[in-house]
Amino acid sequence: MKSSRERRRDKRPQPDRPAIQPRAEARDAPRRALAESAEPKAASRTLRRREGALPAEKLPLILEVAPNADYALLDSGDGEKLEQYGPYRIVRPEGQAIWQRALPAHEWDKADALFTGDTDEEGMGRWRFPKAPLGETWPMRHDGISYLGRFTSFRHVGVFPEQASHWEHMERLIRDAGRPIKVLNLFGYTGLASLVAARAGAEVTHVDASKKAIGWARENQQMAGLSQKPIRWICEDAMKFAEREERRGNGYDIILFDPPAYGRGPKGEVWQLFEDLPALADICRSILSPKPLAVVLTAYSIRASFFAIHALMRDTFAGMGGSVESGELIIREKSAGRALSTSLFSRWVGGSR
């Protein structure tokens, strides 16, 4: 399914659980627009409960991103958040920030860009620049990796800082493995996870159904000085790609997947998270290498507890040993130290390498 995030809708219903950032529903708009009519859905995969002992479990696990030189959540409140992305201060809507702002108004007034949401036009019509007009893109860094930030028409800027916790975990697994590692990044978006994996020494396959996102990711690879690293950029529906890899007998040591709540692929393939996630998780198990390291699932804007995806992942990886760790990704605020929850996650980590 398409994972392009650059045109996510701003006016979205809030999920029932206030701890979940309503991020992925904004991905639905571009997916709906991609196809005039949906392609007939493929025959459902027959799922059977796996035999064997369930993996050990660790929950709840709260993975936290603290303010740093590249990114900081400076403050939040009154339905908005004030962030520092490299040289720029940015104000964007944040439905979960139901508390009061900690910083005084003059700190918020220093913002270089504000997302207004006052138009549905493409381009930069949704952004206001109080000080001076800014270009569409600007240079950013994550842990020494350069990439392009971009003011998109659906309020996002090309990176989701909370994912840094997963990237660091993945990088440690790759570096500690002491052998060649293959990583599959489904719904890969603008490629930061792929670049982190490639820098650590992995061979990476990056899949996203948006040509625009793939182009942006390739730009990021060049900007990061990682053009010689082995990254395959695949513009395709994630489910179809995974099914084909299963038929081919290909395997990966680490799989990341970050599916939307609802989406359409480039040929109108329909994705419904609660209907299709079990099958995709099952396929991910089937395309693991003989000595797998991890499978990482992130879920945004779903009306469920992390216990739901935790149970799914434990069932899916029954008989494989290891453990399943589940919980929430949060960003720690700089001003008052409050935690802003962004998403749910569940990851299976292999017991041996």
Q: Give tens-digit pLDDT for 34-63.
A: 333 344 455 578 888 888 999 999 999 999
With bands split at pLDDT 50, 70 and 90, how would you rate the model's confidence at 16? very low
Query: What is the mean predicted confidence (pLDDT) over 272-294?
Result: 94
Q: Which among 304, 257, 306 is positioned nearest to 314, based on CA atoms?
A: 306
**What's the pLDDT at 285?**
97
Mean pLDDT rounded to a whole number for the chain? 86
Report which of residues 338 and 35 the model is more confident about.
338
- Per-residue three-class SS string for the chain: CCCCCCCCCCCCCCCCCCCCCCCHHHHHHHHHHHCCCCCCCCCCCCCCCCCCCCCEEEEEEEEEECCCCCEEEEEEECCEEEEEECCEEEEEECCCCCCCCCCCHHHHCCCCEEECCCCCCCCCCCEECCCCCCCCEEEEEECCEEEEEECCCCCCCCCCHHHHHHHHHHHHHHHHHCCCCEEEEECCCCCHHHHHHHHCCCEEEEEECCHHHHHHHHHHHHHCCCCCCCEEEEECCHHHHHHHHHHHCCCECEEEECCCCEEECCCCCEEEHHHHHHHHHHHHHHCECCCCCEEEEEECCCCCCHHHHHHHHHHHCCCCCCEEEEEEEEEEECCCCCEEEEEEEEEEECCCC
**What's the pLDDT at 43?**
59
Q: Which among 163, 227, 165, 172 is positioned nearest to 195, based on CA atoms?
A: 227
With bands split at pLDDT 50, 70 and 90, how would you rate the model's confidence at 274? confident
**What's the pLDDT at 17?**
34
- What's the CA angle centered on 306, arms 303 and 309, to 5 degrees? 90
Of 15-24, 128-137, 171-180, 277-286, minimum mean pLDDT range: 15-24
Burial class (CB in 10 A: 0-12, 13-18, 19+), 297: buried
Of 112-116, 120-124, 313-317, minimum mean pLDDT range: 120-124
With bands split at pLDDT 50, 70 and 90, how would you rate the model's confidence at 262? confident
**What's the pLDDT at 42?**
54
Pairing of strands 203-208, 270-272: unpaired
Of 116-125, 193-202, 224-233, minimum mean pLDDT range: 116-125
If one counts every other C-beta atom within 10 angstroms of the C-beta of residue 222, the result is 12
